[in-house]
Structure 1
Amino acid sequence: MIPLLSVSDLSVGFGRKAEANEVVRGVSFDLADGQTLAIVGESGSGKSVTALSINRLVDFGGGKITGGSIRLRRGDGGVLDLAGAAEPQLTKIRGAEIGMIFQEPMTSLNPVLSIGTQIAESFRLHRGLTGRQAIAAAKDALDRVRIPDAARRLKYTPNQLSGGMLQRVMIATALACNPRLLIADEPTTALDVTVQAQIMALLAELKRETDMSMIFITHDIGLVAGIADKVMVMQNGQAVEQGELNQILDHPRHAYTQHLLHAVPHFASGKATRSDGRREKAPDAEPALKVDGLAVRYPVRSGLFGRATGAVHAVDGVDFELMPGETLAIVGESGSGKSTTARAVLGLVRSTRGSFSASVRKAAAGQSALPIQMVFQNPYASLNPRLTIESILAEPVIASGGRVNAETRARMTTLLKRVGLPENSLERYPHEFSGGQRQRLCIARALMLNPSVVVLDEAVSALDVSVQARVLELLVDLQREFGLAYLFISHDMAVVERIAHRIAVIYAGQIVEIGDAKSVLSAPRHAYTKKLIAAVPTIERRRQRFELDTRQVPSLVRPLGFEPGPAKWDVFGSDHRVRIEG
Structure 2
Amino acid sequence: MMPLLSITDLRVGFGRNPEANEVVRGVGFDLAEGETLAIVGESGSGKSVTALSINRLVDYGGGRITGGSIKLRRADNSVFDLLTATEPQLTKIRGAEIGMIFQEPMTSLNPVLTIGTQIEESFRLHRGLTGRQATAAAKDALDRVRIPDAARRLEYTPNQLSGGMLQRVMIAMALACNPRLLIADEPTTALDVTVQAQIMALLAELKRETGMSMIFITHDIGLVAGIADKIMVMQGGEAVEQGELNQILDHPQHPYTQHLLHAVPHFASGRATRSDGRREQDKGTEPALKVDGLVVRFPVKSGFFGRASGAVHAVDGVDFDLMPGETLAIVGESGSGKSTTARAILGLVRSTRGTFSAGARKAAAEQSALPVQMVFQNPYASLNPRLSIASILAEPVIATGGRVNAQTRTKMAALLKRVGLPESSLERYPHEFSGGQRQRLCIARALMLNPSVVVLDEAVSALDVSVQARVLELLVELQREFGLAYLFISHDMAVVERIAHRIAVIYAGQIVEIGDATSVLSEPKHSYTKKLIAAVPTIDRRREHFELDTRQVPSLVRPLGFEPEPARWDEFGPDHRARVEA
Q: Who is 1:514 aligned against?
A: 514
Q: After superposition, where does 1:309-388 map in structure 2 within 5 Å?
A: 309-359=309-359, 371-388=371-388
What residue in structure 2 maps to residue 475 of structure 1? 475
Please state how far the C-alpha of 1:58 moved relative to its aligned partner: 0.5
Structure 1 segment 392-541 matched on structure 2, within 5 A: 392-541=392-541
Range with bigger deviation, 139-148 or 74-83:
74-83
- Alignment correspondent of 1:552: 552
> Aligned with 2:106: secondary structure?
helix
Deviation of the 1:281 alpha carbon: 4.4
* 1:364 match: none
- 1:33-57 alpha-carbon deviations (Å, 9 max, x no partner): 0000000000000000000000000
Q: Which residue matches 1:35?
A: 35
1:64-104 deviation digits (Å, cap 9, x = unpaired)? 10000000001121101101111010000000000000010
**Aligned AA for 1:247?**
Q
Q: Paired residue for 1:251? A: 251
Q: Percent identity?
A: 88
Relative to structure 2, which stretch is displaced further, 10-19 or 40-49?
Answer: 10-19
After TM superposition, the structure 1 = structure 2 runs for residues 93-172 of structure 1, keeping only pairs within 5 Å, are: 93-172=93-172
Alpha-carbon distance in structure 1 between the residues aligned to 2:544 and 2:519: 25
Q: Partners in 2 of 1:155 and 1:565 — Cα distance?
A: 36
Give the structure 2 partner of residue 366 of structure 1: none
Secondary structure of the residue aligned to 1:84 is coil
Distance 2:357 2:122 in 1: 55
Deviation per CA, 1:258-312: give whole Å up to 9, x if none: 1100100000000000002346443311000000000000011100000100000
Structure 1: distance between partners of 2:497 and 2:57: 40
* SS of 2:83 mapped into structure 1: helix
Deviation at 1:546, TM superposition (A): 1.6
Secondary structure of the residue aligned to 1:83 is: coil
Deviates more, 1:467-476 or 1:278-287: 278-287
Q: Is the 8 A contact 1:99 1:179 kept in 2?
A: yes
Q: For residue 271 of structure 1, what is the aligned residue in structure 2?
A: 271
Q: Which digits, 9 at most, give the CA deviation of each residue in 1:309-347, with x for residues without a partner?
A: 000000000000000000000000000000000000010
The 2-side partners of 1:76 and 1:87 are apart by: 21
Secondary structure at the counterpart of residue 574 of structure 1? coil
CA contact (8 A) 2:570 2:580 kept: yes
- The amino acid of 1:139's aligned partner reads K
How far apart, CA to CA, are the structure 2 residues paired with 1:73 and 1:41?
Answer: 27
Report the equivalent of 1:562.
Answer: 562
Question: Equivalents in 1 of 2:561, 2:355: separation in Å?
Answer: 20
1:359 CA displacement: 3.0
**Cα deviation per residue 1:450-489 (whole Å; 9 max; x = unaligned)?**
0000000000000000000000000000000000000000
Show CA shifts across 1:167-221 (max 9, x none).
Answer: 0000000000000000000000110000000000000000000000000000001
Who is 1:7 aligned against? Answer: 7
Structure 1: runs of 5+ lacking an equivalent: 362-368
Shift of 1:15: 1.4
Task: List 4+ stretches of structure 1 deviating above 6 A.
Answer: none
Measured after TM superposition, the shift of residue 415 of structure 1 is 0.4
Give the TM-score of the pair, scaled to structure 2: 0.98
The separation in 1 between residues aligned to 2:499 and 2:3, in whole angstroms, is 45
1:183 correspondence with 2:166: no
Give the letter aligned to residue 134 of structure 2.
Answer: A
Q: Which residue of 2 aligns with 1:365?
A: none
- Provide the residue aligned with 2:364 in structure 1: none
Q: 1:223 — aligned with what? A: 223
Distance 1:142 1:411 in 2: 56
1:14-44 CA distance string (max 9 Å, x none)? 1121111111010000000000000000000
Distance 1:555 1:279, change over 3 A: farther
Residue 573 (structure 1) aligns with: 573
The residue identity in structure 1 corresponding to 2:128 is G
Which residue identity is paired with 2:209?
E
2-structure distance, mates of 1:549, 1:71 = 37
SS at match of 1:451: coil
User: Helix, strand or coil: the match of 1:201?
Assistant: helix
| Partner amino acid, structure 2, of 1:24 | V
In 1: Cα distance, 2:376 partner to 2:259 partner: 27
Cα deviations by residue, 1:213-272 (Å, 9 ceiling, x for unpaired): 000000001111011000000001110110000010011111111110010000000000
CA deviations 1:110-139 (Å, max 9, x no partner) are: 000000000000000000000110010000
> What secondary structure sits across from 1:570 in the alignment?
strand
**Contact 2:204-2:546 within 8 A present in 1 as well:** no
Answer yes or no: is the 8 Å Cα contact 1:370–1:449 preserved in 2: no
Q: Which amino acid aligns with 1:325?
A: G
In 2, Cα distance between equivalents of 1:67 and 1:543: 35
CA distance in 2: counterparts of 1:433 and 1:370, whole angstroms: 31
Cα distance in structure 2, aligned partners of 1:581 and 1:3: 53
Q: Structure 2: how far apart are the matches of 1:281 and 1:71?
A: 65
Q: What CA distance in whole angstroms lies between the structure 1 residues aligned with 2:294 and 2:86?
A: 61
Task: Name the aligned partner's letter for residue 512 of structure 2.
Answer: V
Distance 2:499 2:441 in 1: 20
Letter paired with 2:200: M
Q: 1:465 & 1:194 partners in 2: Cα distance?
A: 20
In 2, the alpha carbon distance for the partners of 1:350 and 1:79 equals: 62
Q: Residue type matched to 1:560 in 2?
A: L
Q: Is the 8 A contact 1:397 1:404 kept in 2?
A: yes
Provide the secondary structure at the position in 2 that maps to 1:486: strand
C-alpha distance in structure 1 between counterparts of 2:66 and 2:524, whole Å: 54
State the aligned residue count: 575
Amino acid paired to 1:434 = S
Alignment gaps of 5+ in structure 2 = 362-368
C-alpha separation between the residues in 2 aligned to 1:49 and 1:277? Answer: 42
C-alpha distance in 1 between matches for 2:451 and 2:304 = 47
Which has the larger displacement, 195-204 or 557-566? 557-566
Partner of 1:18: 18
Contact persistence 1:360–1:371 (CA under 8 A):
no
2:90 is aligned to 90
**Contact 2:4–2:32 under 8 Å retained in 1:** yes
Deviation (angstroms), 1:581? 2.5
